[in-house]
């Protein structure tokens, strides 16, 4: 009987690595007692942590670039697929689940953050989490930051690869808009920077979706100024407290609010305090890059109906606002360094979808959405409208692969989540999210119905397991990337013509 594919693979790794003693310490086979701990360490969506979930044959946690080179070489040689994982937040688990024999390359040991305050840049290895980036910047300056995401445990590798939006995106754009160089390894093991990879590939990796082109080792980030004092607020209203009219008004004005804000409104079902029946609670919140005194007149002029008062607002430093939006107020800043910490926000078993809205939706449409939010399956669901506008209206659609720019009023984030004991019934929750998505069809963007690549959703289409066809990939590709999809395909055809780096929603090469 021949050796198992991963035994040949392991032998290849030790043969082709010129430092086999160090590589052996970063390899985890299923016989290794730490295998499960390493695998599960950053599985965020516990839906993909069941006994039925396909597991990697081997996990490699490179500590040197030669380990990446050896892993890519040996995986190709022995017909194993690679799944690259930075922070493990992929909503469909594609960084650690595959239906074919595969190896996980986990960048947990590639996470240095080197901040240069004077030049307002930072070199960040792709395995760092956003919390590490924020923390290391704040150590040196409280008035600089990065256009990162809200949740501190997201990996920088996947975040920027899929675009990346967060608290500062209406002021400074996406994460990908704020990258000025990168270190990248291609299918042939070549280590490339911006100059040697060329502008097409450098464009593609800043938003064209993770796992398609090669492995990003590090990003050089542009740091952006933030004031020493920022303000946060959150105001909640039930349907009985006029929430519907407030949301209708919010739709009209939120995208026109100052770039210094990131207004959103979260909606979920709660028991009414009046009679114990269900109602919808709408929570209006935002960061404001300025003081309460500066914010209040703006809100009184633009959105008086909300009745924002001084008591609804808190002033803090920018880094403290990261804790606030992670619901980690009063925790030490060091919690941002904890990459295995499970955020209390958003649940642990979940299904996500996204939409873009170009025209305000009607009261009737909104009522239909509320009625679905009151379904039994939606008891832990949350729907968030996130305002667009600001600098997003001014950055051209093809500046990076992330195409959702001018013309959007807001993005919708649909999150249905459930508890461990109900994971056997996951299908009923997933079906609920599909029903809501179908219901929303007439009210959201069309031709294509746009979706955010980092909110990965395999329902909108996926590649064949075998041959990845352009036509099939266009179905989901145009939703994520609109016309930028064709340029991504061209880049892919050049950098990885044999389609080694692939998954269910990777960019296909042209054959
Ligand atoms: P993960 O490691 O799972 O990778 C995601 C994808 O990128 C996979 O296809 C993977 O193979 C690939 N990849 C990872 N590292 C790579 C590398 N070094 N080189 C090449 N490819 C690589 N988004 C957002 O924009 N703003 C937000 O506020 C949030 N909030 C949020 C909260 C929570 C709780 C979750 C679970 C997710 C989000 N997201 C988000 C979505 C998030 O940005 C998205 O899932 C990112 O892809 C996650 O990046 P990770 O590195 O953590 O994921």
Q: Is the pTM of this model over 0.85?
A: yes
Percent of residues, the chain, with pLDDT higher than 70: 97
Opening angle at CA 61, ends 344 and 26, nearest 5: 130
457-507 pLDDT, tens digit each: 999 999 986 777 899 999 999 999 999 999 999 999 999 999 999 999 999
Would you state the pLDDT for residue 344? 56
161-205 pLDDT per residue, tens? 999 999 999 999 999 999 999 999 999 999 999 999 999 999 999
**In 52-122, which residue ranges form alpha helices assigned H by DSSP?**
65-77
- Could you tell me if the CB of 173 is within 6 A of ligand 1? no
Distance CA 359, CA 50 (A): 41
pLDDT for 345 beyond 60: no
Mean pLDDT of the 126-154 span: 97
pLDDT of residue 343: 62
Tens digits of per-residue pLDDT, 360-378? Answer: 999 999 999 999 999 999 9
Does residue 210 line the site of ligand 1, with CB under 6 A?
yes
User: Which domains occur in the chain, in start order?
Assistant: 5-106 (3.30.43.10), 113-225 (3.30.465.10), 229-315+345-440 (3.40.462.20)
Find out whether 314 and 232 touch, Cβ atoms under 8 Å.
yes
| 189: helix, strand or coil | coil
> What is the share, in percent, of the chain residues with pLDDT greater than 90?
89
Question: Hey, whose CA ends up nearest to atom 20 of ligand 1?
Answer: 215
Q: Which of 95, 115, 119, 103 is nearest to 44 (CA)?
A: 95
Question: What is the model's pLDDT at position 341?
Answer: 76
Which positions are catalytic? 455
Task: Compute the distance from residue 45 Cα to the ligand 1 centre, in Å.
Answer: 12
CA 422 to each of CA 59, 377, 397, 416: distance values in angstroms, whole numbers, following the listed order:
29, 11, 41, 13
Residues in the chain: 511
CA distance 379 to 301: 36
pLDDT band at 22 (very low <50, low <70, confident <90, very high): confident
Checking if the pLDDT of 346 tops 60, the result is: no
Average pLDDT over residues 449-455: 98
Mean pLDDT, rounded, of the chain: 95
Tell me the best of 75, 89, 345 to mutate to test the pocket of ligand 1, counting ligand atoms within 8 Å of each CB and taking the most: 89
Pocket test for ligand 1, best of 65, 84, 164, 173 (most atoms within 8 A of CB): 84
For the cut 50, the answer to whether the pLDDT of residue 510 exceeds it is: yes
The confidence score (pLDDT) of residue 17 equals 75
Ligand 1 centroid vs 166 CA: distance in angstroms? 13
For atom 3 of ligand 1, the residue with the nearest CA is 88
pLDDT bucket at 445, cuts 50 / 70 / 90: very high
Q: Which of 77-86, 100-109, 271-280 has the lowest mean pLDDT?
A: 271-280
Q: What CA–CA distance (Å, rounded) separates 350 from 419?
A: 9
Which of 347 and 268 is assigned the larger pLDDT? 268
| Alpha-carbon dihedral sign for residues 213, 216, 220, 223 | positive
**210 Cα to the center of ligand 1, angstroms:** 8
Q: Which of 117, 113, 115 is nearest to 128 (CA)?
A: 113
Beta carbons of 103 and 80 less than 8 angstroms apart: yes
Q: What is the best residue among 86, 345, 353 to mutate for testing ligand 1's pocket, by most ligand atoms within 8 Å of CB?
A: 86
Rounded Cα distance, 303 and 245, in Å: 12
Q: Is 147 in the pocket of ligand 1 (CB under 6 A)?
A: no
Q: How far is the CA of 70 from the centre of ligand 1 (A)?
A: 24
Å from CA of 107 to ligand 1 middle: 13
**C-alpha distance from residue 317 to each of 9, 38, 321 (Å):** 50, 35, 6
pLDDT band at 1 (very low <50, low <70, confident <90, very high): very low
Neighbours of 114 (CB within 10 A): 12
pLDDT band at residue 511 under the 50/70/90 scheme:
confident
What pLDDT, on a 0 to 100 scale, did the predictor assign at position 277?
85
């Amino acid at each position: 009987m021949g050796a198992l594919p991963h035994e040949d693979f392991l032998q290849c790794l030790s043969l082709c690595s010129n430092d086999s003693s160090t590589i052996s310490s970063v390899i985890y086979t299923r016989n290794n007692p730490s295998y499960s701990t390493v695998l599960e360490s950053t599985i965020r969506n516990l839906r993909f942590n069941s006994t039925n979930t396909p597991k990697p044959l081997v996990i490699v946690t490179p500590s040197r670039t030669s380990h990446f080179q050896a892993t890519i070489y040996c995986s190709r040689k022995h017909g194993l697929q690679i799944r690259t994982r930075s922070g493990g937040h992929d909503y469909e688990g594609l960084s650690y689940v595959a239906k074919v024999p595969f190896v996980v390359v986990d960048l947990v040991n590639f996470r240095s953050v080197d901040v240069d305050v004077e030049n307002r840049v930072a070199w960040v290895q792709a395995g760092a989490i956003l919390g590490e980036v924020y923390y290391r910047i704040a150590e040196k300056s409280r008035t600089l930051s990065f256009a990162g995401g809200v949740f501190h445990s997201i990996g920088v590798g996947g975040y920027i690869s899929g675009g990346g939006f967060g608290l500062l995106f209406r002021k400074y754009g996406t994460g990908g808009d704020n990258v000025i160089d990168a270190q990248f390894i291609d299918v042939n093991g070549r280590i490339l920077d911006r100059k040697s990879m060329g502008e097409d590939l450098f464009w593609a990796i800043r938003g064209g979706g993770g796992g398609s082109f090669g492995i990003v080792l590090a990003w050089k980030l542009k740091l952006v100024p933030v004031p020493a004092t920022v303000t946060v607020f959150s105001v909640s209203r039930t349907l009985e407290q006029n929430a519907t009219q407030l949301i209708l008004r919010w739709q009209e004005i939120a995208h026109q609010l100052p770039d210094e804000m990131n207004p959103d409104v979260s909606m979920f079902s709660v028991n009414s305090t009046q009679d114990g029946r269900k109602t919808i609670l709408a929570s209006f919140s935002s960061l404001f890059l300025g003081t309460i005194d500066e914010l209040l007149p703006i809100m009184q002029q633009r959105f008086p109906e909300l009745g924002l008062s001084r008591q609804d607002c808190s002033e803090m430093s920018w880094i403290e606002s990261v804790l606030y939006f992670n619901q980690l107020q009063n925790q030490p800043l060091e919690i941002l360094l904890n990459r295995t910490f499970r955020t209390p926000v958003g649940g642990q078993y979940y299904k996500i979808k996204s939409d873009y809205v170009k025209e305000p939706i009607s009261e009737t449409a909104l009522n239909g959405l509320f009625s679905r939010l009151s379904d039994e399956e939606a008891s832990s669901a949350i729907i968030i409208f996130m305002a667009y506008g600001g600098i997003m209206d001014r950055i051209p659609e093809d500046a990076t692969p992330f195409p959702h720019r001018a013309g959007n009023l807001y993005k919708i984030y649909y999150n249905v989540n459930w508890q461990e004991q109900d994971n056997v019934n996951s299908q009923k929750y997933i079906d609920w999210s599909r029903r809501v998505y179908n219901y929303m069809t007439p009210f959201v963007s069309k031709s294509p119905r746009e979706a955010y690549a980092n909110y990965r959703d395999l329902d909108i289409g996926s590649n064949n397991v075998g041959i990845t066809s352009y036509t099939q990939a266009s179905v989901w590709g145009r939703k994520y990337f609109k016309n930028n999809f064709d340029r991504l395909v061209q880049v892919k055809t050049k950098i990885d013509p044999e389609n080694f780096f692939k998954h269910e929603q990777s960019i296909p090469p042209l054959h």
